[in-house]
């Protein structure tokens, strides 16, 4: 739809309203329709409450990751790593996949919410991506999926991800062009991989399109 319709139709309120009504199950439509305007004025607590109370078609599925991304990440995990942190881990789907592939890794999940259904075969720590509750370079591998595109303070979040990573940082985010009316509440858009590499400060990172998502894998040099 994004590519096949003229922008004046695709990004019009009247055209997108039925899609929002379906996606958000008829709830809080004014908030979600104008989220790109409202989000920047919210406190962190208010912003988190929007997501805590979010009930949409996306929350009914176990993960936003597609199979191609999962396969690529699993095959490129640093072989010398001893531990891994997943920031924005949700219900722990990705960590469950890692456990099946790399039983040698100590796994930690971190999220602003502590999900009741979260898998307990790894360590969980509640915390904000803007102030991760870990020491510098605590984890050989840090992963973060379908998270950075939502964040008002993007630079601060990226700085924290790099601060706690020691050997490898993996970020997955949609390859998406900007529209005001998007069902995913995204605030940032990365249509080109070069822009993502620049924003993350990882210009040499491997970045591949995996079925509509950028899978960025960066080898880090730490002191």
pLDDT tens-digit readout, 152-205: 999 999 999 999 999 999 999 999 999 999 999 999 999 999 999 999 999 999
| pTM summary value | 0.95
**Token pair for 183:** 């069902």
Same-domain check for residues 38 and 74: no
Structure confidence by residue, pLDDT tens digits, 1-19: 777 788 889 999 999 999 9
Q: How far is residue 144's CA from residue 132's CA, in Å, rounded to a whole number?
A: 13
Q: Is residue 1 in some structural domain?
A: no
Cβ atoms 108, 83 nearer than 8 A: yes
* Domain encompassing residue 25: 7-60
The model's confidence at residue 23, banded by pLDDT at 50, 70 and 90, is: very high
Same-domain check for residues 55 and 116: no
Cβ atoms 161, 173 nearer than 8 A: no
Position 2 scores a pLDDT of: 74
Position 223 scores a pLDDT of: 43
Structure confidence by residue, pLDDT tens digits, 107-161: 999 999 987 656 667 999 999 999 999 999 999 999 999 999 999 999 999 999 9
Structure confidence by residue, pLDDT tens digits, 201-213: 999 999 999 999 9
Identify the CATH number of the domain in which residue 186 sits: 3.40.50.150
Same-domain check for residues 14 and 30: yes
How many domains does the chain divide into? 2
Cβ atoms 187, 36 nearer than 8 A: yes
């Amino acid at each position: 739809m994004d590519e096949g319709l003229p922008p004046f139709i695709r990004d019009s309120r009247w055209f997108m309203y039925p899609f929002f009504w379906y996606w958000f199950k008829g709830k809080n439509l004014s908030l979600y329709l104008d989220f790109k305007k409202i989000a920047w004025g919210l406190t962190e607590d208010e912003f988190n409450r929007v997501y805590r109370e979010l009930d949409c078609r996306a929350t009914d599925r176990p993960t936003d990751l597609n199979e191609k991304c999962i396969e690529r990440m699993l095959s490129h995990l640093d072989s010398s790593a001893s531990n891994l942190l997943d920031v924005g881990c949700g219900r722990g789907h990705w960590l469950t996949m890692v456990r099946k592939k790399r039983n040698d890794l100590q796994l930690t999940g971190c999220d602003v919410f502590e999900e009741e259904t979260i898998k307990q075969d790894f360590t969980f720590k509640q915390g904000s991506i803007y102030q991760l509750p870990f020491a510098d370079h605590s984890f050989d591998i840090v992963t973060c999926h379908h998270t950075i595109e939502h964040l008002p303070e993007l630079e601060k979040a990226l700085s924290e991800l790099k601060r706690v990573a020691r050997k490898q940082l993996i970020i997955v985010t949609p390859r998406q062009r900007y529209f005001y009316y998007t069902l995913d509440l995204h605030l940032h858009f990365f249509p080109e991989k070069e822009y993502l590499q620049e924003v993350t400060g990882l210009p040499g990172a491997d970045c591949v399109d995996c079925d509509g998502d950028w899978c960025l894998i960066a080898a880090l040099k730490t002191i």
